[in-house]
Amino acid sequence: MMHIRPTPQWNTSPALLGFGVMRMPTKADGTIDRTLSDAMLKAAYEGGVTYFDTAYTYHNGESEPYLGSFLRQYPRSSYQVATKMPTWLVSSLDDAKRIFGEQRQRLGLEHFDFYLLHSIGKTAFTKMVEIGVLDYLIEEQQQGTIGNLGFSFHQIYEEFEYILRYRNWDFCQIQYNFLDTEEQAGRAGYNLATSLGIPVIVMEPIKGGSLINLNDDLASQFKALAPDASAASYALRWVADHPNVKVILSGMSTLEHVQENVATLKNPVPLSPKELHTVETVGETMRSRIGNSCTGCSYCMPCPFGVDIPGNFALWNKARMFDSYQIIQRAWESPHAADNRPSACTECGACVPLCPQMIDIPADLKTVDCELTALKG
Ligand code: SF4
Ligand code: SF4
C-alpha cells in the first residue's frame, strides 16, 4: 500500500503519489498512445496510486475521456479524479456550466473528488468571482458533484496570497520543488497555506522532468551519496519531507518513471542531513547561474513590439541553470514564437520603469539574444 497522509478536511484519502496525466505519451499524430499509457496507468494503480489528475484541455480534449474509460474497470471508491475548469475559455456563467457538464460526460463520473480553477492568477480569479463561476462551483460542491474545491497556480506569490486568503479552500495546487523555492507561490506560499490549515498538492516536483537530466557536475553530487539513486528520487523525497503536502503529482511519461516514483514514494524515507545538504547545495548552485531575477510577473507586458519579455527571460534562465541549450531548444527555436524573440526589441524603454525587479530589460534581452544565438550555433 502506498503512503497516505490523512487529511481531516477531505472526505477521501489519496495516496501521496498522484498521477498527472498531462505528459502521457503520444503517437506521431498527437493522440494519446493508449497501449503505453494503459500500461503506465495500470502499473501506477497496482502500485498504490489512487489520485489521477487531468484537465479539460489536456491532449486537445482527449485526456478526460481517455482517463474516464481507463478507470471504469476499477471500483469507483478505489481512486480519486481531479479535473479543472479552464478559466481562459470561460466568458460567462453559461460557459462554465456547459464545460462542467461536458467534463462529467467525458469522464463518465457523477462527481469529481477534486475540482480546480485551472492555473489562475488574480485577474482570472476576479473574473470567475464576478461572473458567478466560483459561487456556481460552491453550489456544485453542496450538491455533491465536487468533493474538494481548490485551484492550481503558476503566478507570483502576491497573487497566490490574495486568492488563498479569499476563502477557506479545501486545497491549493502549486509548483514546488527544490529549485523553485523562490518562484511562483514557492516556499512562502507553502508556509502560508500550512499556517491557514489549507492542504497543499504539489505539481512539477521534478520540474517537468528536467531535474532528471542534470549535467555531470550536479548529477555526480547525488551519485556520491548513493550510486544507484536518481536525482529524481531526491527531488521527490525533498517534497515529501513537507508534511502539509498531501499529494505529489508527478507528470510521468514512461513506465520507468512510474516504477521509480512508486518505489520512492511508497514509503518515503526522509532525507538525512547529508542528503538534504546536497539537495540544497545543488539547488543553490543552479539558482546562482541565472541571468537575472525576472519573476515572470508580466508587469512589463505587453511590449508594444511584441517581445515576450518574461518568456525570453524564463528560457534564458533555464538554459543557464541547467547549463544546457538542449533543455530549451524546442521552445527557443519554435517558429510560433519567432516574432516574440529579443530581436524584435527596439529599445524603446517603455517596459523599464514597470519592472519591480529593476531589470534593465532591453540590455538583458540583448544578452539573451547573444547567448542563446551563440549556443544555437
Ligand atoms: S524596450 Fe524592448 S522589450 Fe521593452 S517595451 Fe520597448 S521594445 Fe518592448
Ligand atoms: S522583466 Fe520585470 S516586470 Fe517583466 S516579467 Fe520579469 S520581473 Fe516582471
- What local confidence, expressed as pLDDT, does residue 193 receive? 98
**243 and 349, same structural domain?**
no
Any domain includes 12: no
Spatial CB neighbours of 152, under 8 Å, sequence gap ≥ 6: 84, 116, 117, 118, 119, 120, 172, 173, 174, 203
Percentage of residues in the chain with pLDDT exceeding 70?
100
**CA nearest neighbour of 32 among 51, 1, 60:** 60
Q: Take atom 4 of ligand 1 and give the residue whose Cα is closest.
A: 351
**244 and 157, same structural domain?**
yes
Any domain includes 3: no
Count of residues in the chain: 377
C-alpha cell at 42: 495500470
**158 and 95, same structural domain?**
yes
- What local confidence, expressed as pLDDT, does residue 251 receive? 79
- What local confidence, expressed as pLDDT, does residue 211 receive? 82
CB neighbour burial string for 47-61, b if at least 16 within 10 angstroms, e if fewer: bbbbbbbbbbbbbee
Q: Is-contact 59 31, C-beta < 8 A? A: yes
Q: pLDDT digit string (tens) for 263-293? A: 999 999 999 999 999 999 999 999 899 899 8
Measured from the alpha carbon of residue 310, the closest ligand is 2
Report the residue among 158, 293, 298 best suited for mutation to probe ligand 2: largest number of ligand atoms under 8 A from its CB.
298
- What local confidence, expressed as pLDDT, does residue 215 receive? 84
- What local confidence, expressed as pLDDT, does residue 47 receive? 96
Q: pLDDT digit string (tens) for 106-119? A: 999 999 999 999 99
Q: Take atom 6 of ligand 1 and give the residue whose Cα is closest.
A: 348
- What local confidence, expressed as pLDDT, does residue 244 receive? 98
Any domain includes 74: yes
Q: Determine the distance separating the centroid of ligand 1 and the alpha carbon of 325, expressed in angstroms.
A: 25
**CA nearest neighbour of 44 among 194, 349, 265, 240:** 265
Q: Is the CB of 43 under 6 A from ligand 1?
A: no
- The tally of CA atoms less than 13 A away on the side-chain side of residue 171 is 29
Spatial CB neighbours of 13, under 8 Å, sequence gap ≥ 6: 4, 6, 7
Any domain includes 289: no
d(CA 102, CA 71): 18
273: burial class by Cβ within 10 Å (0-12, 13-18, 19+)?
A: exposed
Neighbouring CB atoms inside 10 A of 12's CB total 14
* Ranges of the chain with pLDDT below 50: none
Q: Is the pTM of this model over 0.85?
A: yes
Q: Take atom 2 of ligand 1 and give the residue whose Cα is closest.
A: 345
CATH code of residue 219:
3.20.20.100
d(CA 317, CA 292): 7
**CA nearest neighbour of 200 among 169, 222, 174, 226:** 174
C-alpha cell at 85: 475548469
**Domain that residue 219 falls in:** 17-280
**331 and 221, same structural domain?**
no
Any domain includes 181: yes
- What local confidence, expressed as pLDDT, does residue 48 receive? 97
